[in-house]
Structure 1
Amino acid sequence: MVELSSSFSVLFTSLSAKLALFHSIEKQVCCVSSKIRLIGADSDPSCDGASKINSFQVLPSLKSLSREDLLKFCRKYDIHFIIPSRDGELGYFAKHRDFLFKNNIGVMVSEPSTIELCEDKLEFSNYLKTDCIAPITTSSKLDNFTSDSKRFVVKERRGNASSSLGLNLSKEDASLHASKIENPIFQPFIKGKEFSADAWMDQNGSCKSLVLRWRVKIVKGESHESVTFSNPEWEQKVKKTLNGIQGLRGHVMAQVIVDNSYNLHLVEINPRLGGATPLSLEAGLFSIYWTLSEFINPNAKIKEISKIKHGMKLLKKDGQVSIT
């Protein structure tokens, strides 16, 4: 049990320009207790969001930040809980999660081995072969695909750099594109619609709630137009898939392609919040509220929640996000 005091703060890292996400999180933090303050942090003191929120602090680069210095930073600003928001920092916080917990500081982050698995697209594909939604076939060698495969996707094996992504390429172009990438992997190109599933995993690794949202307009890998929808069959398949991955905790996202025959293909799982996550938080996925509630009271029993608002839409234009 963690004592709530007037100096209890939550840290949201890598603020950058994520103002819509910050304010959506702030709403849920306040629902836990009006005593809790949300602090936005970034290593760049002049980031877009720094001057647009009530509480901002400069967090030193994690590359040179020891766990002891992180603890000093947290104690200086009365931080008792941390919400990472960038892929590159998940491993750092997962590594130091137990140390921080012993010092009464919680982190919304999955297990270190699970983060490594989700970052490695090749291992991820092999790990989930028998799960409910099969991941897209992935190989480090283009020649491993049969002659039936005509068009390909080329990606970096690790990370989510959209600048290195090659889509709908011929075999020859895929080979050329791969030569420009440090550690390429290949997948067959699947034509269809994409949706994301924002989900909440409790402290035991069980998926308690999720929101499906179509990725209507995608810019550099991020949804700039997204709409929530209902499909109970797909919801159960996503839930079963997430429950089959040991070590997922807190807020996670699954990305899925629906082909022309309505088959589902799992693209990836990101164990963090995303750019269009504010839509899911507004639609009824109280992942921040539930995670904080569990930290403050580990004995809290949070039942499965299914009251999600469908048909809600997020639009992002010129850096501004609107939800209707």
Structure 2
Amino acid sequence: MINFKEVTSQGFVGRMEDVIPAKAVLVTSASKKVPLLKCVLKSIQKIGHPSFLISGDSNPNAIAQFFTDSFWHMPRLDGMDLQKLLFYCNEQHIKYIIPTRDGELSYFSRYKGELQQNGVHVMVSEMKGVETCLDKLLFFQEGLALGFSVIPTAEESSALDVSHFVVKERFGAGSESIGLNKILDEAEEYAKRLQHPIFQPYIKGMEVSVDVYVQKNGVSKGAIARKREIVVGGESQITTTFRDEMLEQQCADFAEKLGLYGHVLFQVIIDDEGKYHFIECNSRFGGASRLSIECGLDSFYWFLLESGGSDLTQYPFVRAAQDKRLIRYAEDLIL
């Protein structure tokens, strides 16, 4: 890595015009997502061509800047139109963008086509798929119409014939504001705290995530299921892969039928009878998705290969022979 100190007028750290190679990879909303950045860096190194890793965030103090070649203090997306974005990409030789936050997926999906026409590839789904995944009620409706066992979702508790409820926000990632296992009165009261509450039945069972990579041609390349053993703030702190070919195939099929692209993540409950209940889908890389990469689902590498024109049939999905466990923990960096 190159250690930069100078800050340019555009908010970049480092004199990039002096050292930047032919292409650069930008990871947006990088925040403190160091494991994700390490995965991207490893993929860049596997490609074998000189590339520059840039972390971008609207927070000038984002920890990510200490783990990449350079840092872009990005403007807010609502103040950056396509021309401004293209200017930054052209000036810094950015050819690949990897969005990592739900709140920015619609923005990059909106400009995905124009960016590609200008030689910038974005790992994001088309707008319809993004909107379906961001709206839990729409996800239920679409999933039901497609024939998948999505968990019933309603805006009114009276629409569900159950005794215990889950209450959450309808839009985006609302894991921190979720109300679990509430009886009717508790659920109704809890819903008053939320902006756009929805109700779902509370189902006992094993909570799992399934990472999927969907290629540009709309066909899934691979899927890996993992148990969410300890969850904090909606993200797995301890997660272990396991084999369930039927579940993985269903998630791959679901992703294809939703028209998704790139790395996507399904949340599923497997009840005591072994039945699947699809809760939601995040059309982005998840907090603990690094484990799936370590087990062979090489999403960032495949994205870079595809964007460069490579035929992914020459790069098979080879799943690790043994299951693996990921444990997330804090670590210090001494400079």
TM-score (norm 1): 0.92
Contact 2:39 2:300 (8 Å CA) reproduced: no
Q: How far apart, CA to CA, are the structure 2 residues paired with 1:58 and 1:11?
A: 12
Match of 2:211 among 166, 190, 198: 198
- Picking from 293, 302, 305, the partner of 1:290 is 302
Tell whether 2:83 aligns with 1:68: yes
Cα pair 2:167 2:198 within 8 Å, conserved: yes
SS in 2 for 1:196: strand
Q: Deviations over 1:143-185 (max 9, x none)?
A: 1122xx1110001110112232111101100000111111111
Q: Distance in 2 between matches of 1:52 and 1:112?
A: 31
Q: Judging changes above 3 Å, is the alpha-carbon distance between structure 1 residues 309 and 74 closer, same or farther for their aligned structure 2 residues?
A: farther
The residue matched to 1:143 in structure 2 has which SS? helix
In the superposition, relative to structure 1, how do residues 10 and 309 fare at CA in structure 2: closer, same or farther (>3 Å)?
A: farther
Matched with 2:121 is 106
Distance in 2 between residues matched to 1:204 and 1:282, nearest whole Å: 24
Are positions 1:313 and 2:325 aligned together?
Answer: yes
Map 1:56-205 to 2 at 5 A: 56-131=71-146, 133-146=148-161, 149-205=162-218
The answer to whether the Cα contact below 8 Å between 2:212 and 2:251 also exists between their aligned partners in 1 is no
Deviations 1:168-224 (A, max 9, x none): 101100000111111111000011111111111000211111111111100010001
Equivalent-residue separation in structure 2 for 1:202 and 1:181 (angstroms): 36
Moved more, 219-228 or 28-37: 28-37
Cross-structure match for 2:9: none
**Which one of the candidate residues 257, 263, 286 is aligned to 1:244?**
257
How far apart, CA to CA, are the structure 2 residues paired with 1:308 and 1:202? Answer: 20
Relative distance call for 1:224 and 1:62 in structure 2 (3 A) is same
Give the SS at the match of 1:40: strand
1:272 aligns with 2:284: yes
For 1:182 and 1:17, the matched residues in 2 are separated by: 27
**Residue-by-residue CA offset, 1:120-162 (whole Å, 9 max, x unaligned):** 111110111154641100011111122xx11100011101122
Aligned match for 1:210, one of 182, 205, 223: 223
Unaligned runs of 5+ residues in structure 1 are none
Q: In structure 2, what residue type is equivalent to 1:189?
A: Y
* Inter-partner Cα distance in structure 1 for 2:321 and 2:249: 17
Secondary structure at the aligned position of 2:167 is classed as strand
Conserved in 1, the CA contact under 8 Å of 2:220 and 2:252? yes
Task: Kindly provide the amino acid, as one letter, of the partner of residue 233 in structure 1.
Answer: M
Identify the match of residue 46 of structure 1 among 61, 76, 86: 61
Poorly superposed stretches of 4+, deviation over 6 Å: none
Choose the corresponding residue for 1:33, options 40, 48, 54. Answer: 48
Q: CA RMSD in A?
A: 1.7
Deviations 1:25-59 (A, max 9, x none): 11012211241222111111111222233322212
| Bigger relative contact order, structure 1 or 2 (CA pairs below 8 A, ≥6 apart) | 1
Unaligned runs of 5+ residues in structure 2 are 1-19
> Percent identical across equivalent pairs?
35
Secondary structure at the residue paired with 1:14? coil
Tell me the SS of whatever aligns to 2:303: helix
Taking the aligned partners of 1:309 and 1:65, their CA distance within structure 2 comes to 45
Partners of 2:314 and 2:203 lie apart in 1 by 38
Question: 1:313: Cα distance to partner?
Answer: 1.1
